[in-house]
């Protein structure tokens, strides 16, 4: 796991409430995402499998989604993503029930059961998916940022993609235009160091992925994507830059995915030692320890959160399982959105 030029800017979040309520909320959200993903894994793999299709879990990368949510301005901002999208949707406020129902392909799901794991959307909060084509979302994110600029909304578009996606041609087109036109977009590479079974070093001629943005005349840096406070600080800076009209930034959030690429992955491309070492930097454990050091949380509080998120996810699974499948006539509906809700 090469993490070159890593900027470790852990700092105390000065804006947070002194009683730690905000911090506990963030820890809770990371724990909810983890629980949701682990339950999804169980539902996918157990006999009588209720979840089908492609499914990519976010376990290990939670600090990035929760860091974005900490500074995201609902009603103004957009978030666009690849297919590893459950965590971001939950962090932006999607309830576990419609999220799990979407996994089960039920009509009560966030995409009415027609999108599945890779196509979580929640248009009313600017969550514009959930995209299965690697790198396809990068220019779409620039388009959303263009609309923020054109309408002077003050919004920014958080555009997320993986380390594998930066080798797609769309990356070049999107970064160039965004910088040339100074669009309010934050490019966030979720660098889990693997694209399916291919390590970054085997796919990128320049393994320091921050260097990839050198030719686009925009701020670019590596950040510790497992440290929630660092993610928040770095994103705050990038968002202020964009909201001031100074254009895009490019952040490489270095992290690690704990599970396989998708559900059928024997993970022969990595050693047990590598995976175990990565677990030592589990973003949830790191943040929990950080809150303990600051005496903002104790055993009882952590246990209470664990119990709560378990109950939320159990309820979501029951809800999903008892929800109906979409009717056949639903098949051709929602294919084209004539008007996007935020454009009203
Ligand atoms: C255009 C395109 N090519 C290939 C694929 C198959 N594919 C799905 S995921 C993936 C790896 C992408 O890895 P990365 O961008 O690092 O994201 P991660 O899965 O690590 O989050 C590939 C090659 C695809 N979905 N789209
Ligand atoms: Mg990757």
106 pLDDT exceeds 80?
yes
**d(CA 211, ligand 1 centre) in Å:** 21
Establish if 333 belongs to a structural domain.
Answer: no
Atom number, ligand 1, closest to the C-alpha of residue 136: 1
Distance of CA 254 to the CA centre of its chain: 13
pLDDT of residue 1: 36
Query: Is 28 a residue whose pLDDT tops 70?
Result: yes
Q: What is the predicted pLDDT for the residue at 4?
A: 35
Instruction: Count the domains in the chain.
Output: 1
- The band of 338, judged by pLDDT with boundaries at 50, 70 and 90, is low
Report DSSP state, residue 11: -
pLDDT over 70 at 109, yes or no:
yes
pLDDT averaged over every residue in the chain: 93
305 in a domain, yes or no? yes
Which ligand gives the minimal distance to the CA of 265?
1
- Range 197-221 average pLDDT: 97
Beta strands in the chain (DSSP E): 78-80, 157-162, 185-191, 194-195, 198-199, 220-224, 249-254
Residue 84 in domain: yes
- Quick check: CB of 133 below 6 Å from ligand 1? yes
CATH number at residue 40: 3.40.50.970
pLDDT at 3 over 90: no
Q: Is residue 334 part of a domain?
A: no
Closest approach atom of ligand 1 to CA 56: 19
Please check whether residue 27 lies inside any domain of the structure. Answer: yes
Q: Note the pLDDT tens digit of each residue in 6-22.
A: 444 444 444 444 689 99
Report the pLDDT value the prediction gives residue 335, as an integer from 0 to 100. Answer: 82
Q: What angle do CA 42, 125, 44 make, to 5 degrees?
A: 10
Percent of the chain with pLDDT over 70: 93
Residue 330 lies in a domain: no
Is 221 among the domain residues? Answer: yes
| Separation between Cα atoms, residue 281 and residue 292, nearest integer Å | 16
| pLDDT level of residue 343 (50, 70, 90 thresholds) | low
The answer as to whether 344 is a domain residue is no
Report, as an integer, the average pLDDT of 265-280.
95
> Whole-angstrom Cα distance, residue 245 to residue 85?
28
pLDDT at 199 over 90: yes
Range of the domain at 151: 21-323
**Shortest-distance atom of ligand 1 to CA 162:** 15
Say what the pLDDT of residue 9 is.
44
């Amino acid at each position: 796991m090469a993490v070159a030029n890593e900027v470790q800017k852990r700092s105390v979040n000065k804006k947070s409430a002194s009683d730690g309520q905000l911090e506990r909320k963030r820890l809770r959200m990371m724990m909810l995402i983890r629980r949701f993903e682990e339950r999804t894994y169980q539902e996918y793999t157990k006999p009588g499998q209720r979840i089908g299709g492609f499914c990519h879990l976010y376990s290990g990368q939670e600090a990035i989604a929760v860091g974005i949510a900490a500074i995201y301005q609902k009603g103004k901002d957009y978030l666009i993503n690849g297919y590893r999208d459950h965590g971001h949707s939950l962090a932006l406020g999607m309830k576990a029930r419609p999220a799990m129902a979407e996994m089960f392909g039920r009509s009560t799901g966030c995409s009415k059961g027609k999108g599945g794991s890779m196509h979580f959307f929640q248009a009313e909060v600017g969550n514009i998916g959930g995209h299965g084509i690697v790198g396809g979302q990068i220019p779409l994110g620039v388009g959303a940022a263009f609309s923020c600029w054109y309408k002077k909304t003050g919004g920014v578009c958080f555009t997320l993609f993986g380390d594998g996606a930066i080798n797609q041609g769309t990356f070049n087109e999107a970064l160039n235009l965004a910088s040339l036109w100074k669009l309010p977009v934050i490019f966030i590479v979720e660098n889990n160091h693997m694209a399916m079974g291919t390590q970054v070093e085997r796919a990128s001629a320049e393994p320091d992925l921050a260097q990839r943005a050198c030719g686009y005349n925009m701020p670019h840096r590596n950040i510790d994507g497992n440290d929630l406070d660092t993610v928040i600080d770095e994103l705050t800076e990038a968002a202020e830059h964009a909201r001031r009209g100074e254009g895009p930034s490019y952040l490489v959030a270095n992290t690690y995915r704990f599970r396989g690429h998708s559900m059928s992955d024997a993970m022969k491309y990595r050693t047990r030692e590598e995976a175990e070492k990565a677990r030592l930097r589990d973003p949830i454990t790191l943040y929990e320890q950080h809150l303990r050091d600051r005496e903002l949380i104790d055993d009882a509080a952590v246990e209470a959160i664990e119990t709560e998120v378990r109950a939320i996810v159990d309820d979501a699974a029951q809800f999903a399982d008892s929800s109906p499948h979409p009717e056949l006539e639903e098949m051709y509906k929602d294919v084209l959105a004539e008007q996007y809700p935020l454009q009203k």
